[in-house]
A and B are shown apart, each in its own frame.
Chain A
């Protein structure tokens, strides 16, 4: 499939290790944040979200951390698997207007 970002930062992780993907957001007034996963040639897929009144939220194998002081969002993936290989990007905003990041490419090494 076509690459959605030719010069994306890349994170290479050994299979079974934990992955941490970071995102700096721009608007201190944003009250809702989402992490998406996008595989090559496919549409973005919702992973996990968090509201600004929280600083941590956990899902299945994923955790999102929000640091409003420095406007930073991170996605932690536990026990990374080959199927986790994709581009991950964050979105900030609320209601119906969002700002999307350009993404980080995660490569899982066997």
Chain B
């Protein structure tokens, strides 16, 4: 099992450019999440999904969109990147209520720098 993987590991964007971060999990988890991590702050939830084809907003959703077309993949899109989106992005997955466990398993992160 690879667990949770993220692509790319690092990216530099110019203001206004767009990009998509890919998250994949091979644990058959129902729930998937996107977080951002900034210095001095705890992880903040951007968007999450409780199943294939469903998405919902988290704490800081503005400027981001997501899609969950396949159960194993959760994509995070930045349509027009801004310097305030410079951060480390983490994807996580969890079995969900049906799986009887709430623990979230995290990917290795994507470091994004917006100039």
Contacts and interface: CB of A to CB of B under 8 A. Distances in A.
Query: Which of B43, B96, B103, B104: most chain A CB closer than 10 A?
Result: B43
Contacts of A44: 43, 90, 106
Given A94-B102, A96-B31, A102-B40, A42 B109 contact: yes
Interface string A40-64: 0111111001000000000000000
A99 interface: yes
A91 B103 CA distance: 10
A89 B88 contact: no
Contacts, number: 61
Interface size, B (range):
20 to 34
Given A4-B39, A5-B40, A98 B106 contact: no
Contacts of B37: 4
Interface of A is mostly: loop
Contacts of A101: 42
B45 A97 contact: yes
B2 interface: no
Contact of A46 (B45, B50, B96, B105): B105
B31 A100 contact: no
Interface residues of A, number: 29
Interface string A1-25: 0111111100000000000000000
Contact of A96 (B33, B90, B105): B33
Contacts of A41: 109
A25 B44 CA distance: 16
Interface of B: 4, 31, 33, 37, 39-45, 48, 50, 88, 90, 94, 96-97, 102-109, 111
Interface of A: 2-8, 32, 34, 36, 41-46, 49, 89, 91, 94-103
